[in-house]
Amino acid sequence: MGNADDGTYSSSNKYGSAPAAASHRVALPPPMPFVTSLRNTLKETLFPDDPLRRFKNQPPRRKVVLGLQYLFPILEWGPRYTLDSFKSDLISGITIASLAIPQGISYAKLANLPPILGLYSSFVPPLVYAMMGSSRDLAVGTVAVGSLLMGTMLGTVVNASEDPKLYLHLAFTATFVAGLFEAALGIFRLGFIIDFLSQATIVGFMSGAATVVSLQQLKGIVGLDHFTHATDIVSVMRSVFTQTHKWRWESGVLGCVFLFFLILARHLSKKKPKLFWISAMAPLTSVIMATILVYFTHAEKHGVQVIGELKRGINPSSVKDLNFDSKYLTAAIKTGIVTCIIALAEGIAVGRSFAMLKNYHIDGNKEMIAFGIMNIAGSCSSCYLTSGAFSRSAVNFNAGCKTMVSNIVMALAVMFTLLFLTPLFYYTPIVVLSSIIISAMLGIIDYDAAIHLWHVDKFDFLVCITAYIGVVFASIEIGLVLAIGLSLMRVLLFVARPKTLVLGNIPDSKVYRDIDQYQNASHVPGILILEIDSPIYFANSNYLRERMSRWIDDEEDRLKSLGETSLQYIVLDMSAVGNIDTSGISMLNEVKKMVDYRGLKLVMVNPGAEVMKKLNKSKFLETIGQEWIFLTVGEAVVACNYMLHSCTHKMNSDGSHKYNNV
Amino acid sequence: MGNADDGTYSSSNKYGSAPAAASHRVALPPPMPFVTSLRNTLKETLFPDDPLRRFKNQPPRRKVVLGLQYLFPILEWGPRYTLDSFKSDLISGITIASLAIPQGISYAKLANLPPILGLYSSFVPPLVYAMMGSSRDLAVGTVAVGSLLMGTMLGTVVNASEDPKLYLHLAFTATFVAGLFEAALGIFRLGFIIDFLSQATIVGFMSGAATVVSLQQLKGIVGLDHFTHATDIVSVMRSVFTQTHKWRWESGVLGCVFLFFLILARHLSKKKPKLFWISAMAPLTSVIMATILVYFTHAEKHGVQVIGELKRGINPSSVKDLNFDSKYLTAAIKTGIVTCIIALAEGIAVGRSFAMLKNYHIDGNKEMIAFGIMNIAGSCSSCYLTSGAFSRSAVNFNAGCKTMVSNIVMALAVMFTLLFLTPLFYYTPIVVLSSIIISAMLGIIDYDAAIHLWHVDKFDFLVCITAYIGVVFASIEIGLVLAIGLSLMRVLLFVARPKTLVLGNIPDSKVYRDIDQYQNASHVPGILILEIDSPIYFANSNYLRERMSRWIDDEEDRLKSLGETSLQYIVLDMSAVGNIDTSGISMLNEVKKMVDYRGLKLVMVNPGAEVMKKLNKSKFLETIGQEWIFLTVGEAVVACNYMLHSCTHKMNSDGSHKYNNV
């Protein structure tokens, strides 16, 4: 190790007893008043995207305009809107309307609500979102999982068939609560809460929910009247197969035929994305064909259930229907909060992924406010929970939508339907709605993503599968709680058991890297270089102390077995330690004592600004000695080697002067 | 920036279109079978201290001996025990017995249990711990906070004065549950759960509990019969001051005199640690003096309550008293679990801090097993919850104890007391017990620690104060839940909002460091170097994407305002990224897209083993191009500069050849 002579030592006497005069010292960050540092922390925590950036250095009047544009993005893009864009939006708007109408009716059934609510919910909320939302591709309306969740959660307090009016009112109330909660999360900049739903959780949960939703449709397919309220696979299967004598083959045949047709259409569109309109038009085509079929064969008299009469006219007000009776309030609040989180997770994830493709930015907190206002307005106009739906947004995107005008077109189409076309749905068989739901759900079950998770990260896969199994075999809520619990446990485990590495020298360089990763890296005789790959907190400081002591034991064993020089220095590379708390500092003090007791010397490398500040305030810098803190591992090793060999030299006074080359 | 010519480029043509031929490449870790990596992860998670280390390469017979020694450390140190050690242990044992007897009686009163239980609990558990524990300094017995907690928690289901027998049996059951839970935590290696109680939490919680315990003693001091069951300061003060007419001055005077004496003794011992025996003997002296005083003045007839008759004889069996009636089981389990966590947190923290001073090792999981067996044995022999008590352990340590024999001596002294001396306590006034508790509790309230927290880490201080206020103004459980919640929230916030830094070049070096920390570090023209100081997970990937995009915006603004070269390269230093999950990889893909869209180039530096593995499996390495991944920031900057200037050169064909020096 004769590489101590790289010139950094020429001034080592200047520091008296200091072992090293490395050319660069680790700096303490410039002092910052408490208020400033608190403000910075709060800003990073709550305003990481700096939403006020564009207001900087603007005249007051311009600020008002910018503020309005911030709240209502339509004011920003509206004036620049062109006829070309309108042509694209018109086509995509009509396309998603043709999907929204049958899906709206189907999802309302899923929530045990009157079918007309699905149409209402595809009218007002898209208009509100078009004013306030920042996505250009989201197709707003009711969503399958949210609908099912609302159905099962409200179903536990009120039976929808026994007291449909109360049930309806509670649905409005839950939607109102969901909207309020969404808006509050956005206003208080707490959007990061939904970041704790990891991608793996969402994949598992959505796939599970899609499975459950599809299973529920067996009721419609085989034409059963009585069906379990539970959503788990065991109850559903039991319910289906204990009633085989009540199966209606007419219904079953119709369902399977349309399901086959829909799946075929989906398959075609998937193969050739240009044929997206086939799968987009298929549901409405199915509805029209099935309705005509029933109308002429009078199948409704032979066991094929039909929708029946739909009230004509646009959304009536439902402000007076909001029910804040304390008896049901808890259930409404619980339902509202759970469905809100699910709706947000789906809506924002979908919005973000399409924004990514077109390279524009979605502000999560602002989106939440838009979703919140949309649901509050919805709950007052006979709509239930709405969000950005995945399948319809994909169709919207593929159909070439340019702006939110496609949603306005869709809303107008729905309005037209509500005003004039509702009688046409009288003979629409429910079984075709079930087929439409199943075919939409099959698109949500994402095995490819699960396989990808398995390949890349086994724990993520475990989280995903847990969420799936929880939803399918227990209930939607249990699946969600399991998946979130596991995700949080994972974060805590990550924090509690951080990586520590032994570094070695990469040949022909002054670079030190993980010995396990770089097979050619070599140990430095007499020096153990450890790297801690995480902030040091109360949650991991005990572990880190034990782990470090084990590294030292291991290294001493290794050196003994090789008969090499004994260990002299422990170099702690702190580069990756982003922060430290008081428990962490106590731990370092203990490690220092332990290292001293073993007759070794603790050396520290490159602590960051925050860590230096706290080490200084807690006087640890004095304990370890500022001269034992180096900017790079290379400099620390050079200094240790210098000390090591000049000591050896002094002890073995007959030794060569080989190392004492300063 | 003419420093591109450091020779690493001599072979750049070898790589065809690759921009850089850095001398060292970032290595992929050697592949590892899934089972091996799972085993390693489980080992790191559950056996970080490698308890099986000493069994390695030993003959089977030796393994049995080592195993027994592992379970019963007394087998290890027992044979080496010397007379010298015994002399020290005898003195310290008698000293802590003199403290344990009055404190035992006092703490039992705190738990609303018969005073004799305090003596029982200082006999059996210390003997069990002496066999199984690995601490040499812990003084085992009942603890104030655990006693109070048990009293208030069981008090909510059974009134101790109305049904003392049931209450007693539930206390045994809760102790049994606590022991079972402690042992289970240790056996399943889940000891790290108590690591989530941060030092700040413990300081705040213990100080709060000590305050509450002292406040409770006002009942004894002013001699009240009826007293609130709540522990919060408001209820206690109301209870004390609404009954001023019932205050007994005799009791008050006695209490204040002894309190003054005890505090004086504590103060003396604190000033001169050699006089530790003054404060250690003070409680027993007070008890003796007060008892004699009452005996001769017959103060018990003038409003001074006395202990009364204590049953003579050692611990009766209480196996049959364990009550698993489903009616009370929930309360017993809840009390057991909460008190167990508090007892463990205190016992293990105390054990560890003294082990640190004498430089031996405490194995948390093994300690939990010892505590568990001790409490299970205790619950079957008429003892209630025991742990390692802070104040008595400090006295034990100061008295010069060498091994657990001091606990055996203490247990024998308590046994002697139980067999022969109990009648002497008949006239001991309860008020003197209150004084003893208050004086012990004053030592636990640790303002110095709180002030230290304020100086070093404001958030830790907040956690500490929250726990304190929660305990004092609401209840012990609420304080604990608040503090743990805040601690966990802090961990999650740390994870959700990691540090990102802009790096600059330290003058006259190839080292790149945080620009905020190193005032002399300078930006590299055209290159933005970012460092991420945390693993990248689902919980922070959205934040990191937004933050990176903001750094780029800021840098472009800065360059524009300075009129400098526009930004060309984003160098991402991944050294501190210990791990990444699938959400993190998606985020990197998005950042890559965003950077590409802005016409910039993404360069990566030094990803660790785990990160490289996952980037490879998810094909991100192919997306970014392996040639754009460098071992050090220095190499990356050299390569970028080379590209930057050779491009500039090509564009300005009339430019000088200054930069094109390869």
pLDDT for A497 equals 87
Minimal Cα–Cα distance from B16 to chain A, Å?
24
Q: Is the pLDDT of residue A418 over 70?
A: yes
Q: Is the pLDDT of residue B10 over 70?
A: no
- What number is the average pLDDT over the span B432-443? 86
Find the CB nearest A597 among B199, B359, B609. B359
Residues sharing a CB contact under 8 Å with residue A267, sequence separation 6 or more, in sequence order: none
Q: Are A387 and A75 in contact (CB under 8 A)?
A: no
- Biggest distance spanned by C-alpha atoms of chain B: 113
pLDDT band for position A11 (50/70/90)? very low
End-to-end CA distance of chain B: 14
- The better pLDDT of the pair B233, A195 is held by B233
Write down how long chain A is: 662
Residue written as tokens 């332990």?
Answer: A594
- What number is the average pLDDT over the span A162-186? 94
Q: Is the pLDDT of residue B104 over 50?
A: yes
- What number is the average pLDDT over the span A184-200? 83
In this structure, the strands spanning B387-389 and B139-141 are antiparallel
Minimal Cα–Cα distance from A47 to chain B, Å?
10
- The better pLDDT of the pair A107, B250 is held by A107
pLDDT for B648 equals 56
Write down how long chain B is: 662
pLDDT for A542 equals 86
Q: Is the pLDDT of residue B488 over 90?
A: no
pLDDT for B44 equals 81
Q: Is the pLDDT of residue A308 over 80?
A: yes
A533 with B535: Cβ contact below 8 A: yes
pLDDT for A417 equals 93
Q: In what order do the strands lie in the sheet with A601-605?
A: A512-514, A500-505, A527-532, A569-573, A601-605, A629-630
Tokens representing residue B302 in the block: 């003038």
Q: Which amino acid is at A4?
A: A
- Biggest distance spanned by C-alpha atoms of chain A: 113
pLDDT for A23 equals 58
Residue written as tokens 């920036």?
Answer: B1
Exposure string for A492-508, b = 16+ CB within 10 A, e = fewer: bebbbbbbbbbbbbbee
DSSP 3-state assignment of B258?
helix
According to DSSP, the residues that pair with B601 across neighbouring strands are B569
Find the CB nearest B575 among A50, A364, A575. A575
pLDDT for A653 equals 44
Tell me which of B190-199, B463-472, B499-508 is least confident: B190-199
Contact list in A for residue B593 (CB cut-off 8 A) is: 356, 359
Signed CA dihedral, A73, A77, A81, A86: sign only: negative
Contact list in B for residue A594 (CB cut-off 8 A) is: 359
DSSP 3-state assignment of B466?
helix
Residue written as tokens 């002030």?
Answer: B451
Tell me which of A204-218, A294-308, B517-531 is least confident: A294-308
B535 with A494: Cβ contact below 8 A: yes
pLDDT band for position B8 (50/70/90)? very low
Signed CA dihedral, A480, A481, A482, A484: sign only: positive
Tell me which of A43-52, A64-73, A538-547, B535-544 is least confident: A43-52
DSSP 3-state assignment of B458?
helix
Contact list in B for residue A27 (CB cut-off 8 A) is: 517-519
Give residue-wise pLDDT tens across range B23-54: 577 888 888 788 888 888 888 888 877 777 77
Tokens representing residue B314 in the block: 């050692």
pLDDT for B647 equals 62
Q: Is the pLDDT of residue B15 over 70?
A: no
Tell me which of A25-34, A421-430, B616-625 is least confident: A25-34
Euclidean distance between CA atoms A397 and B47, whole angstroms: 51
According to DSSP, the residues that pair with A501 across neighbouring strands are A531
Signed CA dihedral, B228, B234, B236, B238: sign only: negative
According to DSSP, the residues that pair with B524 across neighbouring strands are B527
Please tell me which of A197-201, A367-371, B460-464 the model is most confident about, judged by mean pLDDT: A367-371
Residue written as tokens 């402690």?
Answer: B182
- What number is the average pLDDT over the span B326-337? 90
A491 with B494: Cβ contact below 8 A: no
Cα A138 versus chain centre, distance: 17
Cα radius of gyration rounded to whole Å, chain B: 33
Residue in B closest to A37 by C-alpha:
B458
pLDDT for B661 equals 37
Find the CB nearest B29 among A200, A359, A516. A516
Q: Are A220 and A431 in contact (CB under 8 A)?
A: yes
User: Among candidates B1, B6, B2, which has minimal Cα distance to B635?
Assistant: B6
Q: What is the pTM of this model?
A: 0.80
Q: Is the pLDDT of residue B418 over 90?
A: yes
Chains A, B: CB contacts within 8 A come to 243
User: Among candidates B575, B566, B578, which has minimal Cα distance to B537?
Assistant: B578
Q: Are A101 and A414 in contact (CB under 8 A)?
A: yes
pLDDT for B491 equals 81
Give residue-wise pLDDT tens across range B133-143: 989 999 999 99
Euclidean distance between CA atoms B115 and B426, whole angstroms: 11
- What number is the average pLDDT over the span B513-517? 90
Contact list in A for residue B612 (CB cut-off 8 A) is: 517
pLDDT for B17 equals 41
pLDDT band for position A648 (50/70/90)? low
Minimal Cα–Cα distance from A122 to chain B, Å?
30
- The better pLDDT of the pair B195, A625 is held by A625
Q: Is the pLDDT of residue B112 over 70?
A: yes
DSSP 3-state assignment of A231?
coil
pLDDT band for position A278 (50/70/90)? confident
Euclidean distance between CA atoms B44 and A560, whole angstroms: 24
pLDDT for A156 equals 87
Euclidean distance between CA atoms B174 and B383, whole angstroms: 11
Find the CB nearest B614 among A457, A498, A538. A457
- What number is the average pLDDT over the span A103-131? 93
User: Counting beta carbons within 10 angstroms of the beta carbon of residue B29, is it exposed (0 to 12), middle (13 to 18) or buried (19 or more)?
Assistant: middle
Q: Are A419 and A314 in contact (CB under 8 A)?
A: yes
What domains can you pick out in chain A, each with its CATH number?
12-34+499-651 (3.30.750.24), 75-492 (no CATH)
